[in-house]
Structure 1
Amino acid sequence: MTRTARVAAILGVVAVASCSAGNNSSTPPGATSSSTATSVAPLPTPPERKAVDAYLAMWREMAAAGETSNSEAPGLAEYATGDALVVIKNSLAEDDRKGLVTKGSPKSDPQVTNVDRSGGVVTTVKIRDCGDDSGWLKYRRGTNEPADGQGGGRRSILAEVKAQPDGNWRVTRFAVQGVGSC
């Protein structure tokens, strides 16, 4: 490259830099100055995301209710209904009768496997999860003594989540397989 070409290239870089750095306007680069304020509406949450969020919230609520084995915890019905809610409530009631509580929380890795569109609207989402309950174990109430035979681990979980008439999504069914199933 000749000396003249190098000087021209350097001057070009300096000119570009000074144009962008020399802007004394209070408007940030890339923004336009306008006296009219505009707002951007957030994008709607896709139904699949709402279904996964409801699925995860169901497990959080179940973990919270499990700390005292409270089968009537109000948060349970916010994210589960039908067979799913019955299973959760029965499980918690049985733990309460046995004098057990659950400590910790489950880990989830949900994946959407099927989306049912009825009339062009998503109504049902099916989820497959490989949940890990090794950090969510049962103990005898009032002690740190583990319940017999508890170890936990990774389990395959299949769930169905449906849009409800009130506009919310709730888990309607789920099936948990044995430890080591995923």
Structure 2
Amino acid sequence: MLLATASCASTSSGGAKTPLSPGPSTTGTATTGATPTVSATVSSPSTPVDQNSPEAQAGIVTYRAMWADVVKVQATMNDNDLTLSHHLVGDALTYFHSATHINRLNGYVSAKGEPKLLDPVVTHVVGSGSSVQIVVTDCVDDSGYTKYTSDGTKVNDGDPGGRRFTQALVVPVDGGYKVKTFAYSRTGTC
């Protein structure tokens, strides 16, 4: 697994999903943020989110852009590259920056391939406008996304990668959207 050494949100040892939820709660070490307004409408599994709504589209576009940024930065393991801040903020930015930094300290100089985003969907939208909170849920296959040392050796860290339940909390920031909180579960959780 490419990001195993840093965690933003976690699963239990049994692999149960610890979902993100909009609002002031805490998941693992990641705080999800501001409290939605009282008039906010919460989408739940019984009320599917319109995937064509502007909020859902913004959530998916931001989530995909976040992954593109991560792949770009980890291709060189440059933990000073500011690209991560384009679509990440808060705990999620700390998570990916830390993972890249730790990988570099461990002698990994590049990552090749990229994770496959199998089915990103918006599962919750809370609030609206500048206080909207959007939860994107996905199953990410990172089996083809691997680390390499300076001599070109593929890193065998005991984790072959695979399908991982993943969630991201997307929020408005400075006129755009960024991923604020991120949960990346262990292999085999989706």
**Same fold, TM exceeding 0.5?**
yes
Question: Which residue is equivalent to 1:177?
Answer: 185
2:58 is aligned with 1:50: yes
Mapped partners of 1:113, 1:58: distance in 2: 18
Higher relative contact order (CA 8 A, sep 6+): 2
- After superposition, where does 1:89-108 map in structure 2 within 5 Å? 89-100=97-108, 101-108=110-117
User: Unmatched 5+ residue regions in structure 2?
Assistant: 1-52
From the CA coordinates, give the structure whose radius of gyration is larger: 1
Q: Deviations over 1:58-82 (max 9, x none)?
A: 1111111111111222221010000
- After superposition, where does 1:26-37 map in structure 2 within 5 Å? none
2:174 is aligned with 1:155: no
Residue of structure 2 aligned with 1:112, choices 107, 119, 122? 122
Calculate the TM-score normalised by the size of structure 1. Answer: 0.70
Q: Deviations over 1:70-102 (max 9, x none)?
A: 122222101000000000000000000011121
RMSD: 1.9
Mapped partners of 1:46, 1:59: distance in 2: 20
Report if the CA contact (8 A) 2:63-2:179 is conserved.
yes
Residue 121 to residue 64, structure 1, CA distance change in 2 (3 Å): closer
- After superposition, where does 1:1-150 map in structure 2 within 5 Å? 46-100=54-108, 101-108=110-117, 109-118=119-128, 123-150=132-159
Per-residue deviation, 1:145: 2.7
Q: Report the identity percentage.
A: 35
Q: How many corresponding residue pairs?
A: 137
Calculate the TM-score normalised by the size of structure 2. Answer: 0.67
| Runs of 4 or more consecutive aligned structure 1 residues displaced over 3 Å after TM superposition | none
